[in-house]
Amino acid sequence: MEEKQGSFLDPSLPNKAVLERFPEYASTAVIDDLRATEYSFLDEHNHVYLDYTGAGLAALSQHQAHHERLKHAAFGNPHSINPTSRAATDLVDQARARILQHFSASPDEYAVIFTPNATGAARLVGESYPWRRGARLVLTADNHNSLNGLREFAQKGHSHAVYVPIADTDELRVQEENVVAALSRNSVCSPLGWLRKSKSKPGRSRGLFAYPAQSNFTGVRHPLSWIQLAQDQGYDVLLDAAAYLPTATLDLSALKPEFVMVSWYKLFGTPTGVGCLIARRDALSRLRRPWFAGGTVQAATVGLPWHLMEKDEAGFEDGTVSFLSIPDVTVGLDWISKIGLDTVATRVRCLTGWMLERLLALEHSNGGSMVVCYGPADVEHRGGTVCFNILDKNGAVFDERLVAAESADANISLRTGCFCNPGAGEAALGIKGRVLARLARARAKSYQDFVNALDVPAVGAIRVSLGIASVAADVDFMVAFVEETYRDRAATTKNLGPRTGC
């Protein structure tokens, strides 16, 4: 591989081969211009950023808007009517309205609740949901741990947790017939046990169905039609849209999920520490907070254990919201609207296809494949996340920790591990029930003990993902890095040490 200083083409001049394979790439030329101006810091430092599923990148103008706002005005805690408080409140209210506009959602039907992140949104639902005996929590096996953790709330509330398996071992997709079976009233087999047939009272939800619109592990996009499918079976729906929204839109005037999780920095880089739960007001009214805090109550007493909760959004936003950062959500939404989300989606789709085709075509001198991909090998019904492992000349898997270190030395930002999605990881890496059963006998005291008990070829993977500032040169460099670093090389775990976590 050439030195980075000479390996990059002018980002504004895409590789001819990309245009020949994906002619629509030419329609996204505006992104090449933005890469040279708004995202110039990447090429100034010869940095290859391939971790958009981990976090988006903020444009220079987004940062400038933040500084200009603070430079010319004073903003105070919103919980008052003084001038600085009113100024902050107005900007927070504008952000709520702008978010609902982005989702084509009516303020009469949906509420925007600001949270620290998407995980905070999931926790709000999990801790406040009306769990009870006979109710179910239905989860797809392909889920971020922020949703897997809901099973703890469900079990504490005497509700059953059910997983829909990943039955498609080629593309790692969840099959709709298995979703239907898990949601049905009939008994189903679950990793958490057999469930008996249950009946719900009229007007009462049968439970909660939680799934990602897009997998953070494989990039698979699960059908949004499952929202209505679950609701027809009497379930509320919690949709994890964190990985989906950077390159797709969600129209809440057509789709009607009860709850949607959003992480704003994944869309456009900033602000961090601000996510939101978009909740249907009728569903929100059925949630009951297990505690109260400053900002969530109209009044509380000490002499008598009594409190009166605030209504709607205020009853779910603990303490003071991040009022200096929340206006940056408005800036970010205006920014991606100016570029055009369709333009970003087209760019990402083309580069994802280009990345997949070139990685899967890599071979060692003996003809053996250099890369194994987990998930779809094409761009149909998937996002810009590509998950894979690198194979040595004998077919052994290179430890992803080695790839993490060597790619970092090459100034590439990618991600390795299991990406907080154990279900997809188990399906991808062939860690089946009988393998997991060894854990019960192993009495693991450390993560390395856990890995030793599994005794599988790989327990982690490599994830690259494309986004708003990606260009063909990023793909070129990544593919060249893999080929020139690992071609005809033997895998080794020497000097890597024990594993301390996934």
Distance of CA 156 to the CA centre of its chain: 26
* Active-site position among 189, 276, 350, 420: 420
Residue 419 · residue 431 · CB < 8 Å: no
Query: Quick count: other Cβ atoms within 10 Å of Cβ 390?
Result: 26
Q: What are phi and psi of 428, to 5 degrees?
A: -65, -40
| Bond from prior residue into 271 cis (ω within 30 degrees of 0) | yes
Closest among 418, 380, 314 to 92, alpha carbons compared:
314
Straight-line distance from the first to the last Cα atom of the chain, in angstroms, rounded to the nearest whole number: 30
| DSSP 3-state of 445 | coil
What letter would DSSP give residue 93?
H
Sheet with 110-115, edge to edge strand ranges: 110-115, 275-280, 259-263, 235-240, 207-212, 136-140, 160-164
Distances (CA, A) of 371 to 428, 482, 485: 14, 9, 13
Q: How far apart, in whole angstroms, are the C-alpha atoms of residue 416 and residue 14?
A: 28
Measured between alpha carbons, how far is residue 495 from residues 101, 313, 372, 401, 449 in Å? 53, 52, 24, 11, 18
Q: Kindly compute the dihedral angle of the four CA atoms of residues 270, 272, 274, 275, in this order, to the nearest 10 degrees.
A: 80
Instruction: Extract the tokens encoding 252.
Output: 């809440």
Element spanning 176, H or E: helix 176-183
Residue with tokens 């498609």: 168
189 is catalytic: no
223 class by beta-carbon count within 10 Å (0-12 exposed, 13-18 middle, 19+ buried)? middle
Taken in order 215, 220, 224, 227, is the CA torsion positive or negative? negative
Question: What type of residue sits at position 348?
Answer: V
The set of catalytic residues is 420
